[in-house]
Amino acid sequence: MITTLAPEPKRLTPMRAQRRRRLDALLRNCPAQPIFRARAARRLAVLAYHGIDDPRSFAAQMDRLLRIANPVSLDEVRQAAAEDRPLPPRSALVTFDDGDRSVVTEALPVLASRGIPAVAFVVTGMVGGDRPFWWQEASFLARHGGTARSLAPGGSPAAAVRRLKALPDPDRRRSLAEMRVSASRLAPRQPQLSPEDLAALRSGGVQIGNHTMDHPCLDRCDDATVRTEIVGAHQALHRWLGEPPTAFAYPNGNFDPRADRVLRELGYHLGFLFDHRQEALLPRDPLRISRLRVNAATSLHRFDTILSGLHPAVHRLRGGS
């Protein structure tokens, strides 16, 4: 029997959850929302999901998207940038990072039944295997006593993951190895997407993009690793799909100019950040397109204010990045 390692949900106390619901409703109904919504009609909303842990909520979000926005495909964004022609008003692109299996098992049926195009950015080193994503493994190991010289003692699993992301990449890998040795339990296996799943996604209207081989933060890597991570994933996707990918999403949203140069050498048309911002209908730099952070459990109140740009604006005012 294989035990899978599901993404760890954010756990809110009942009081915090209630405060969040009140804030979401307040923002959704505040006088500024129509102003932001009107401005958003002249912006591109690129929604950045990861796994789908609440299919019913995700379906409601996609129904809402059809009512208030104009879903577009990756090819339409690419063509607009190539022809120097803005996208239609209220354009929205749905994207998924990492390649969690729930994208094919949960998201694909919802998208296909509604005719909504999307793109999945895949960590190719996981395809066809059953290793957990490294940040999920680190969180599990931290919950079971795993520690490393680079980590503060007694810290939370979330703090451990944040610290690992900030380390130079060789130190991240070394620290993760130390956590495996010191933890009372190893992380369970997690079935990943297969090459056949990638073909099924593409057949269902979900295009496939490059998200590196192992999902390191590229700005924490040396030059050789930056190139290897991008080129290796590029070659694997070309082999599996029969054509090279032309879109890339930065792991953790960390832009790196060396990666930008590699992408241009390989002929990439589009690159995506993770900065919780809207983008122009004609992206200023097609290889640095902003995206809005969202997840399947996001309330419809918050979903509306994310699409309007009000939630991102408040997020930045409160010191978010």
Conformational region of residue 242, where left means phi above 0, alpha means psi within -120 to 50, and beta covers everything else: left
Total H helices, total E strands in the chain: 14, 9
Among 120, 101, 115, which residue's Cα sits nearest to residue 47? 120
Q: Are strands 43-49 and 279-280 parallel, antiparallel or unpaired?
A: antiparallel
Structure tokens at 58: 């995700």
pLDDT tens string 80-91: 999 999 999 999
Residue 291 has pLDDT above 80, yes or no: yes
**Domain residue spans of the chain:** 134-191
Q: Residues of 110-122 as b/e, b for ≥16 C-beta within 10 angstroms?
A: bbbeeebbbbbbb
Residue 11 has pLDDT above 80, yes or no: no
Confidence category of residue 27, pLDDT binned at 50, 70, 90: confident
Mean pLDDT of 290-304: 95
* Lookup result for tokens 């079935």: 191
Q: What is the pLDDT of residue 60?
A: 98
Mean pLDDT of 209-228: 98
Q: Which neighbouring-strand residues pair with 95? A: 48, 119
pTM of the model: 0.92
